[in-house]
Amino acid sequence: RRIAGRGTDATILLVDQILGTALLVFLIFAIIDDRNQAPQANLVPVLIGVIVVAIGVSFGAMNGYAINPARDFGPRLFTAIAGFKNNGLTDGEPVFWVPIVGPLIGGVIGGAVYDFGVRRFLPPAKA
């Protein structure tokens, strides 16, 4: 059985996390922006859920579907404390930092791409 991230270069895993999180933040910004043709308020949580699942399905196999440091680090810490051998922190694999650093970089990139590449070209919000 293959464990996510095991045996893969940390640079590739980092790029995976950056792209996945950048895509997530970009699409969330697009959905919630009042200047964009945003969906009805009751659809926003459903659409964000669909986006998270789609990103998880497409990017999750390589590094274990992290895209959020808070969602990833807690289970890693718990499994290390509980004594599991393949826990992602103390098992000798030097990639535990990737799901923490990658989403932080990806979030900034996704937000910046939306603000500078899309939002500035949208018409002003209607009052």
Round to whole Å and give the CA distance between 31 and 40: 10
Predicted confidence at residue 5, as pLDDT, reads 56
In a domain, 4, yes or no: no
Which whole-number Å values give the CA distances from 61 to 14, 64, 76, in the listed order? 13, 6, 17
For residue 71, the domain's CATH number is 1.20.1080.10
In a domain, 1, yes or no: no
What is the pTM assigned to this prediction?
0.85
In a domain, 3, yes or no: no
Domain range for 65: 10-121
In a domain, 34, yes or no: yes
> For the chain (length 127 residues), average pLDDT per consecutive 10?
62 91 96 83 91 91 80 86 84 80 95 96 82
Q: How many domains does the chain have?
A: 1
Q: What are phi and psi of 63, to 5 degrees?
A: -130, 20
Assigned token pair, 96: 């535990």
